[in-house]
Amino acid sequence: MVEVVAALIWRGDRFLICQRPAHKARGLLWEFVGGKVEPGETGEQALVRECAEELGIEVSVGDVFMDVVHEYPDITVHLTLFYASAAGEPQLLEHNALAWITVDQIPQYAFCPADDAILQRLMKE
């Protein structure tokens, strides 16, 4: 099982989502920014590193919003989504696109399947 972390970053009533590069697994699907936890890292450290690498932003990591285990055909992930706040304007260093969306806009985007339970919870709250 691969440990993966992601950030739930709010700006007013909108949260940040990123579109995966076309050449990667689950290419062009939308997701929360984040990535794999490397050996010796905590989830929080991995999230700070991933946000810097992928978007060029500094994040302060808060509490866990939710965690999920999802089995893809090629990989099983344990995804932990943290509340986070960001300093700086996100840049497209790795993703195809990014968007700030409201909860009502979730159905308009094709997300990675591992995010489904998280998105359902966001739409209920």
pTM score: 0.94
DSSP element (H, E) containing 40 = none
CA distance 49 to 43: 10
CA distance 74 to 105: 29
* Mean pLDDT over the full length of the chain: 97
Alpha helices in 13-115 (DSSP H): 43-55
Can you tell me the mean pLDDT for 71-80?
A: 96
Domain ranges of the chain: 2-124
Return the pLDDT at 65: 98
Q: What is the pLDDT of residues 16-68, one digit of tens each?
A: 999 999 999 999 999 999 999 999 999 999 999 999 999 999 999 999 999 99
Question: What homologous superfamily is domain 2-124 in, according to CATH?
Answer: Nucleoside Triphosphate Pyrophosphohydrolase (3.90.79.10)
Return the pLDDT at 87: 92
Instruction: Count other C-beta atoms under 10 Å from residue 17's C-beta.
Output: 23
